[in-house]
Amino acid sequence: MGLSHLLDSVAMWAQDIIRAMGYWGLGFIMFLENVFPPIPSEAVLPMAGWLAYEKEGNFTLWGVTLVGAIGSIAGALVFYGLGHWFGEERVRQLLRRFGKWFLLTEADFDTALNWFERYGEFVIFFGRMVPIVRSLVSIPAGIARMNLGLFNIYTAIGTGLWSFLLAWAGYILGQNWGLVMEWIDKYEKVVLVLGVGVVVVFVVSRLRQKMKSET
């Protein structure tokens, strides 16, 4: 079985869980999605948005957004705790040994570290919308002992926005909700570049404001 078929099977399993368990299933899958990145939120939240449109399983657009965000925050806290308790070197050892089972590499971790070192706490918000990074960026936040309250606030806002956008897209597209994942896969690099660009502009504007206030 190829990797693409494996990921398709994982996505279908996640969708079956949501249909069978409703909001509990959605929260559980979104938790796993942050701990096990091969589960794509792009294949979960749009479907939940479509179910909200069809009024199936008592799903609503705002309910999907809220539960999706809560599940994501819980998953992010797992990786935050991993970084907090184990530290960088131990995390690297774990990735070398077990990362392949989660389709995570040390290079992915280096990317997350680089993002956090360059953009600090702001990447906790913006990184929630970037595949792979949205999971691993919680680890350097834990390693750096980032204030847990701020970490949860930035994570809640970022995951809430991401959950709403994906659920809303599924709500609008209806039975064609699968197009969301196709579009994100096709334009993933564009989305990544735009995300980095927004972070850079935001940080530069903050630095300019700080420099003006000091002069």
Query: Is 14 within the bounds of a domain?
Result: no
Query: Is 163 within the bounds of a domain?
Result: yes
Query: Is 141 within the bounds of a domain?
Result: yes
Higher-confidence residue: 32 or 197? 32
Chain segment 112-133, per-residue pLDDT in tens: 788 787 777 777 887 777 766 7
Query: Is 157 within the bounds of a domain?
Result: yes
Task: Please report which helix (H) or strand (E) contains residue 30, including its range.
Answer: helix 23-35
Assign 93 a pLDDT band (cuts: 50, 70, 90): confident
Query: Is 213 within the bounds of a domain?
Result: no
Cα atoms found within 13 Å of the Cα of residue 194, Cβ hemisphere only: 8
Higher-confidence residue: 41 or 198? 41
Number of domains in the chain: 1
Range with the poorest average pLDDT among 51-55, 81-85, 90-94, 192-196: 192-196
pTM surpassing 0.85?
no
- Give backbone dihedrals phi and psi of 203, rounded to 5 degrees, phi first: -65, -45
CA-CA-CA-CA torsion sign (180, 185, 186, 191)? positive
Q: Among candidates 64, 189, 179, 202, which has minimal Cα distance to 122? A: 202
Query: Is 82 within the bounds of a domain?
Result: yes
Q: Which amino acid is at 64?
A: V
Query: Is 196 within the bounds of a domain?
Result: yes
Chain segment 160-181, per-residue pLDDT in tens: 988 898 899 888 888 787 777 7
Query: Is 182 within the bounds of a domain?
Result: yes
pLDDT exceeds cutoff 60 at 191: no
Mean pLDDT of the chain: 78
- In whole angstroms, give the CA distance from residue 169 to residue 180: 7
Residue-range definition of the domain harbouring residue 83? 46-204
